[in-house]
């Protein structure tokens, strides 16, 4: 069970305030958008999903990313809620599921960014957020994605995270549960809201 740190307490109660302010690129208001049949999915977990979503949208919103939804995956219970997931008892990870245009944006590019924007070497933790719900993970949607995930992970370990073993899990994607509406586009709706300090884009050179 995650320890009840001040950050945990802040995160548990802050989302229940209301806000009508929308950020740029938030025309859908956090509702799922229609994507073409040719779209592919990329599902990752990298700690608090508010900052993960914000960084991916900021960097890829105009580069082939159709949509990005925060939610829960990898657990043992149906239809989990935020409060339950925050206890660490459901087994779910806070995660981001993206739909993207593979003719404009590659799966490998998204995974490389994933390894830049969080610390994959801290097991079940990002910054002060501790618990299995904050684990680092890639949930693949096909054998091809699994092979690519393992290849990118091996490169990131050898070239970016030398001497610090990557703890990222690489697992088949199971049932996805969208998080509650107030979590979608959370940092667009709540500027100045909580952002995990481990979430920033590292200036690593391109993977070779």
Query: Catalytic residue positions?
Result: 48
Residue 93 DSSP SS3: strand
Report the candidate in 73, 153, 144, 52 with the shortest Cα–Cα distance to residue 111.
153
Which residues have a Cβ under 8 Å from the Cβ of 28 and sit 6 or more positions away?
none
Which residues have a Cβ under 8 Å from the Cβ of 13 and sit 6 or more positions away?
none
DSSP secondary structure string, 14-69? Answer: GGGS------TT-TTTT------TT-EEEEEEESSHHHHHHHHHHHHTTTTEEEEE
| Longest CA–CA separation in the chain, Å | 45
């Amino acid at each position: 069970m995650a320890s009840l740190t001040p950050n945990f307490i802040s995160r548990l109660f802050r989302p229940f305030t209301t806000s009508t302010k929308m950020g740029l690129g938030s025309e859908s208001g956090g509702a799922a958008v229609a994507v073409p049949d040719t779209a592919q999915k990329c599902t990752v977990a990298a700690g608090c999903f508010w900052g993960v979503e914000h960084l991916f949208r900021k960097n890829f919103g105009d580069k082939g990313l159709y949509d990005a939804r925060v939610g829960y995956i990898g657990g043992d219970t149906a239809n989990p809620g935020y409060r339950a997931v925050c206890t660490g008892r459901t087994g779910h990870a806070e995660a981001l599921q993206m739909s993207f245009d593979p003719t404009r944006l590659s799966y490998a590019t998204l995974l490389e960014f994933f390894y830049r924007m969080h610390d994959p070497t801290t097991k079940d933790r990002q910054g002060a957020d501790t618990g299995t719900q904050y684990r680092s993970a890639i949930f693949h949607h096909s054998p091809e994605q699994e092979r690519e995930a393992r290849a990118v992970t091996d490169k990131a370990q050898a070239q970016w995270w030398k001497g610090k073993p990557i703890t990222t899990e690489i697992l088949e994607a199971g049932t996805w549960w969208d998080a509650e509406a107030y979590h979608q586009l959370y940092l667009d709706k709540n500027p100045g809201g909580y952002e995990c300090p481990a979430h920033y884009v590292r200036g690593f050179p391109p993977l070779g």
